[in-house]
């Protein structure tokens, strides 16, 4: 879908309404890489902003992907030998919305920075925000990242 991005980083609600964005789930997720915010919209006779959350995005060497996607598989946690994340919601391929970084056991916070460009491409959110998406946003919900 080709959208007009003129208002994307100026007035997100106008961007959403002017582009007549459609969603079969009644929700819409948008992340601004410039402003480092993730927006949750719900359709209630018109699109209404429900949440705006500070987000960590990909660093220059491992940027967050841009484009239009839809929510895929969700995982309660994803981990490795040294770190883990909670409430991972797939965007596309290996890109996710997920919590801040925890130790491998998921008990101790290792990195809780938000609003910066330091990830490997995923979009980090406060744990409560990642959980809200995990619990409430259905698969196939549109995602716009720009």
Catalytic residue positions?
Answer: 98, 122
E-strand stretches of 10-141: 27-32, 37-43, 47-54, 57-58, 67-70, 74-79, 83-92, 95-98, 101-103, 109-111, 117-119, 123-124
Report CA-CA distances (Å) from 110 to 48, 70, 82, 83, 98.
34, 29, 10, 8, 14
């Amino acid at each position: 879908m080709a959208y007009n991005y003129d208002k994307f980083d100026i007035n997100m609600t106008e961007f959403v309404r002017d582009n007549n964005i459609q969603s079969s789930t009644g929700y819409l997720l948008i992340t601004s890489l410039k402003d480092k915010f993730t927006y949750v919209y719900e359709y209630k006779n018109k699109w209404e902003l429900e949440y705006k959350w500070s987000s960590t995005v990909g660093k220059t060497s491992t940027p967050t992907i841009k484009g239009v996607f839809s929510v895929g598989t969700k995982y309660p946690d994803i981990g490795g030998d040294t770190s883990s994340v909670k409430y991972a919601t797939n965007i596309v391929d290996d890109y996710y919305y997920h919590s801040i970084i925890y130790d491998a056991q998921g008990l101790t916070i290792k990195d809780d920075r938000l609003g910066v460009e330091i990830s490997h491409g995923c979009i980090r959110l406060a744990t409560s925000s990642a959980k809200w998406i995990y619990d409430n946003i259905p698969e196939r919900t549109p995602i716009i990242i720009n």
